[in-house]
Structure 1
Amino acid sequence: MSATLPEASSKELFGHPKGLLYLFFAELWERFSFYGMRALLVLYMTKHLLFDDDMAFGVYAAYMSLVYVTPMIGGILADKLLGFRKAIILGGILMSLGHFFLTIEQPVFFYGSLALIIVGNGFFKPNISSFVGDLYAQGDARRDSGFTIFYLGINLGAAIAPLACAWFAITYGWHYGFVLAGFGMLLGLFVFHRGLKTSVFGDKGLVPNVKLYESKKFGLAKGTLTIIGAFLAVPIFALIVRYNEFEHYLVWIVSAFLVAYLIYIIKSVSVKEKKRLLVAVYFTILYTLFAAIFEQAGSSLTLFADRNVNLVGMDAAGTNSINAGFIILFAIPFSMLWTFLSKRKSNPNSAIKFGLGLLFLGLGFIVFALSAHSVDETARTAMSYLVIGYMVLTLGELFLSPIGLSKMTELSPIKYVSFIMGVWFSANFYGHFFAGKIAKLTAVSNGEPTIFSEGFFGSIVTAITGLTPEIASGKSEAFQQLFSYVSVYASFGVISVIVGIFAIVISPIIKKMMEGVH
């Protein structure tokens, strides 16, 4: 890898700051580790640990939601104490340990490993994204393009990992898949460290206040205490994952903290910054809905592919790479599109892009639901629906997710940028929490009526899938399971489309509140 990275002889590469290249590759390998493990996790729990669907979905949802709540804490600690560089290194070390400890098949190591990744991601994820934003000046027209390129790095890792880690897991055993993910994280750390050694980041990402960092408490420097505190937090998060049925209490605690800290920020900033901050919160709410629906990918959609799709050329874990594969295909054209439209002063504002993102997400899930029309006698549907559905929702993701990353760095007050980036990632915390609830709705396999098979939603499900509870209940258990999946996908697909259209309609109001941010 080091041979492929250029020497730091100039400030820019391909029209972007050279530091973007190093952050791109560091994020690529970190995401390789994260998505490689994620693709295996639900299948590992249901097939190897023999958890039932409810337990597996509960653990998965708790793990994935907590992975995105810790960035708020990691963002604050980076803003106030650590700086981007030290936070990213600390996070990478914790995540590496988590992946390798998954190879030890004991409950304490299973839940402890997930907790190590949760804490590590809190330091790594918001700060590497904020670091990208720090490479560009306020108002730099290259910012959206730069974040879309960065997003490509995320998804190169996410595309390769499920296929590679799944192959290792199937060929050599589950634990080898987790080991490969761990090596991916170490490679990401190596690339980032080389960027530091070659000084491509200049004076960016350093400790914000050296005196505060080195000041002592209990005989230790506050920077050292932060590292110790990170490791001490691991057993707490492990217990939350294990007893995930009580996670809703954490949701209330996080919500209270978020609201309180946002009120504190609002009171300390200008009127212009207040308006922008409210838009950041609005975008985060939209992203929460997006994540709750989209993140069926790692849970119910993986089991849907395993149980009810005629897969060709890959296994169920490998289907996690389809979305990332389409992002690789579309990311550069989208990046070029935003730059081209900006030059022609025709680039849609971010509020419209968010609406389009939700619209395409909903259409993608409607395509999944339409697969019921191709069902065979074994209750399996054509893989083409799975692929096309992923393609459509990927378009939605490219309208929303990388643009959201970019806008958070512009809409937030400068001294709170890492915390607001953490707020953005909190959408994934809430999204995964609710995604777990949605996934559990698909666990119904006896054909009994649910909220999505009766009344208004029942009519929608019948119109889209051609199925009713009566038809499903008269067939095999596999067919009933299929109905559970497609009824939920059809209903939430329509909900997403409606919200997307509403967001587009009110976009002029949101644009005005953004105070010049596009």
Structure 2
Amino acid sequence: MFFSVTNTHNCYFLSQFATTILPDVSDTYIAPKQYLMEQNITKGDDIFGHPKGLLYLFFAELWERFSFYGMRALLVLYMTKYLLYSDQMAFGVYAAYMSLVYVTPMIGGMIADKILGFRKAIMLGGVLMALGHFFLTFEHPIFFYGSLSLIIIGNGFFKPNISSFVGKLYKEGDTRRDSGFTIFYMGINIGGAVAPLLCAWLAELYGWHFGFVLAGIGMLLGLLVFKGGLNKNVFDNHGLVPDDSVYNRKIMGITQGNLIVYGAIISIPVFACIVYFHEIEHYIVWVVTLFLTGYIVYILKNVGSSERKKLMVAIYFTILYTLFSAIFEQAGSSLTLFADRNVNLVGMNAAQTNSINSGFIILLAIPFSMLWTSLNRINKSPNSVIKFGLGLIFLGGGFAIFGMAGHYVDELAKTPMLFLITGYLVLTIGELFLSPIGLSKITELSPMKYLAFIMGVWFSANFYGHYFAGKIAKLTSVPDGDLGLFSRGILGDITEFVTGLSVSEIQLKEAVFHQLYTYVSVYSGFGVLTITIGLLVVVLSSPIKKMMGNVN
């Protein structure tokens, strides 16, 4: 169906509608030449105002996230219900695994920048991740920890480079960038929404390992989509090996490209041991911090004044994202057990509740994409610093709502599912204010020469976030008779104000109420803390915005 549009404003609206609602349809809408010139769009190379490559990256990331979130939804429940790990043990393994999943992107980003290029890094990472999911079907500790290690290493090559690839599709200053990243982010969450529902359904009906197999199939589909894009040359010359002479340079008779593959295989037992001996993870945190600090200082010394200021803002955003991640990532650990033990679930099991957040992203990503585009057109869009502050405020609000569920607890220590769903809705709004915008800004604020590494630094926020998320989750698992840190002093007062539960009343009840109290008290305390920090970010946004230069 063809549209004939003569009014520039209507042309713009229809183009954005097609961009967001129908990203997978071929070029059936022909925009006026004026609009194409304004947006730097080449009609032959774009689909409804966005590069064709975005479509393939969208679906490749969708299937990769399907595999990742499908397994993630099952992991803590698999450990506590099938492997019979204690909550403390399960939280420790989960936190170590999830944090390492986001530290390896720094290494993978550097390797892609210097040697592999985006294309080879993404393919290598996808193969390793697929093997990791399939090996989870073997019931042996070596395969369990080895599988987690394969996914950790594979994600390091895949995750930062596919996100950087999206940024490469847009020229500097291209106003479509935020909209494109929001669409890409929607692909992530389609996979994240569907995977827990299907994988958890299979796991419950036929056994845990069938859920893991389905996750592996999802990863293979992602690889096939990406390979299809390469075959059709939709990425032009982006993502190729940066320097063939460096890639083919031989060390001990082996090319550097092949050495990377061998190194990835050799590192499998190393990461497996770190996850198994997760108590030593704090040493890894120190090592990563020293490495990051040293390399960032090196970059700061080798860039100009303007780039240096922008890079400092990128680091500031990464610190804020670390806080966001530490609170948000209760979703895969303590919130899953909270849903299993203390929520009256209707229509889904505890593992499937992991799809709620992604489901809301799917519903809200298109309106948010259109919102940013519309506000940009009239120069009313809040700058990125304010968006980050609002993101933290909404995140804190979501966890405060989880805490408010305590007002309506029944005689079995169960709370209404409405609070779980509403809390997820509010924190999802916070996520859309912060996470996709952060991805977009990192690609703009980073020196081009170090883009993939800085993208890896951005994902390191998830490494630190998951490390601290594990500490927060452990606060919800306390010895019998102990109601935890948030039951005392001013923290106890905040808990009682938000949840309506007093320590004296809870202590007179059975243990199941004690467990409920630890959940809602931790969520209330960190919810209020996050709201406070978000307000400070908004109030102090002006000097940070000045450092960003021409980046909004």
Determine if the TM-score, normalized by the shorter chain, exceeds 0.5: yes
Alignment partner of 1:334 is 2:368: yes
The aligned counterpart of 2:533 is: 499
Distance 1:361 1:52 in 2: 28
The aligned counterpart of 1:146 is: 180
Could you say if the C-alpha distance between residues 430 and 421 of structure 1 is closer, same or farther in structure 2, counting changes exceeding 3 Å?
A: same
Greater gyration radius: 2
Match of 1:343 among 369, 377, 387: 377
The C-alpha deviation readout for 1:74-120, integer Å capped at 9, x for no partner, is: 00000000000000000000000000000001000000000000000
The aligned counterpart of 2:33 is: none
The aligned counterpart of 2:314 is: 280
SS in 1 for 2:221: helix
Is 1:448–1:469's contact at 8 Å kept on the other side of the alignment?
Answer: no
Q: Determine what percentage of the aligned residue pairs are the same residue.
A: 67
Could you say if the C-alpha distance between residues 184 and 5 of structure 1 is closer, same or farther in structure 2, counting changes exceeding 3 Å?
A: farther
The aligned counterpart of 1:441 is: 475
The aligned counterpart of 1:45 is: 79
Distance 1:13 1:162 in 2: 31
Distance 1:431 1:256 in 2: 17
The C-alpha deviation readout for 1:158-190, integer Å capped at 9, x for no partner, is: 000000000110111000000000000000000
Distance 1:172 1:9 in 2: 49
Is 2:66–2:191's contact at 8 Å kept on the other side of the alignment?
Answer: yes
The aligned counterpart of 2:356 is: 322
The aligned counterpart of 2:203 is: 169
Matched residue type, 2:541: S
Alignment partner of 1:115 is 2:149: yes
The aligned counterpart of 1:388 is: 422
TM-score normalised over the length of structure 1? 0.98
Shift in Å at residue 452 of structure 1?
Answer: 1.1
Distance 2:215 2:497 in 1: 42
The aligned counterpart of 1:238 is: 272
Is 2:67–2:214's contact at 8 Å kept on the other side of the alignment?
Answer: yes
Shift in Å at residue 5 of structure 1?
Answer: 7.9
Alignment partner of 1:206 is 2:208: no
Matched residue type, 2:491: F
Alignment of 1:125-136 (within 5 A): 125-136=159-170
Shift in Å at residue 356 of structure 1?
Answer: 0.2
Distance 1:77 1:35 in 2: 25
Could you say if the C-alpha distance between residues 316 and 385 of structure 1 is closer, same or farther in structure 2, counting changes exceeding 3 Å?
A: same
Distance 1:135 1:410 in 2: 12
SS in 1 for 2:44: coil
Is 2:486–2:521's contact at 8 Å kept on the other side of the alignment?
Answer: yes
Matched residue type, 1:184: G
The aligned counterpart of 2:514 is: 480
Matched residue type, 2:487: S
Shift in Å at residue 306 of structure 1?
Answer: 0.1
Is 2:475–2:485's contact at 8 Å kept on the other side of the alignment?
Answer: no
Matched residue type, 1:53: D
The aligned counterpart of 1:155 is: 189
Distance 2:281 2:309 in 1: 32
Structure 1 gaps, min length 5: none
The aligned counterpart of 2:325 is: 291
Distance 1:125 1:169 in 2: 26
Distance 2:177 2:232 in 1: 23
Distance 2:449 2:486 in 1: 45
Is 2:108–2:156's contact at 8 Å kept on the other side of the alignment?
Answer: yes
The aligned counterpart of 1:89 is: 123
The aligned counterpart of 2:12 is: none
The C-alpha deviation readout for 1:274-324, integer Å capped at 9, x for no partner, is: 100110000000000000000000000000000000000000000000000
Is 1:446–1:481's contact at 8 Å kept on the other side of the alignment?
Answer: no
Is 2:102–2:460's contact at 8 Å kept on the other side of the alignment?
Answer: yes
Alignment partner of 1:430 is 2:486: no
Shift in Å at residue 9 of structure 1?
Answer: 9.7
The C-alpha deviation readout for 1:424-474, integer Å capped at 9, x for no partner, is: 000000000000000000012634253211111111001011112222221
Is 1:165–1:181's contact at 8 Å kept on the other side of the alignment?
Answer: yes
Shift in Å at residue 477 of structure 1?
Answer: 1.1
Distance 1:254 1:208 in 2: 26
Is 2:392–2:530's contact at 8 Å kept on the other side of the alignment?
Answer: yes
Is 1:147–1:406's contact at 8 Å kept on the other side of the alignment?
Answer: yes
Distance 2:123 2:507 in 1: 53
Matched residue type, 1:395: I
Shift in Å at residue 495 of structure 1?
Answer: 0.6
Is 1:28–1:157's contact at 8 Å kept on the other side of the alignment?
Answer: yes
Matched residue type, 1:463: F
Distance 1:140 1:469 in 2: 55
Distance 2:407 2:536 in 1: 30
The aligned counterpart of 2:343 is: 309
The aligned counterpart of 1:359 is: 393
Is 1:97–1:116's contact at 8 Å kept on the other side of the alignment?
Answer: yes
Match of 1:10 among 32, 44, 50: 44
The aligned counterpart of 1:378 is: 412
Alignment partner of 1:30 is 2:64: yes
Is 1:114–1:238's contact at 8 Å kept on the other side of the alignment?
Answer: yes
The aligned counterpart of 1:368 is: 402
Could you say if the C-alpha distance between residues 163 and 314 of structure 1 is closer, same or farther in structure 2, counting changes exceeding 3 Å?
A: same
Is 1:69–1:422's contact at 8 Å kept on the other side of the alignment?
Answer: yes
Is 2:398–2:422's contact at 8 Å kept on the other side of the alignment?
Answer: yes
Distance 1:382 1:86 in 2: 48
Shift in Å at residue 70 of structure 1?
Answer: 0.1
SS in 1 for 2:487: coil
Distance 1:5 1:107 in 2: 46
RMSD: 1.2
Alignment partner of 1:221 is 2:255: yes
Distance 1:461 1:265 in 2: 44
TM-score normalised over the length of structure 2? 0.92
Distance 2:381 2:483 in 1: 46
Match of 2:218 among 136, 160, 184: 184
Distance 2:325 2:110 in 1: 23
Could you say if the C-alpha distance between residues 6 and 447 of structure 1 is closer, same or farther in structure 2, counting changes exceeding 3 Å?
A: farther
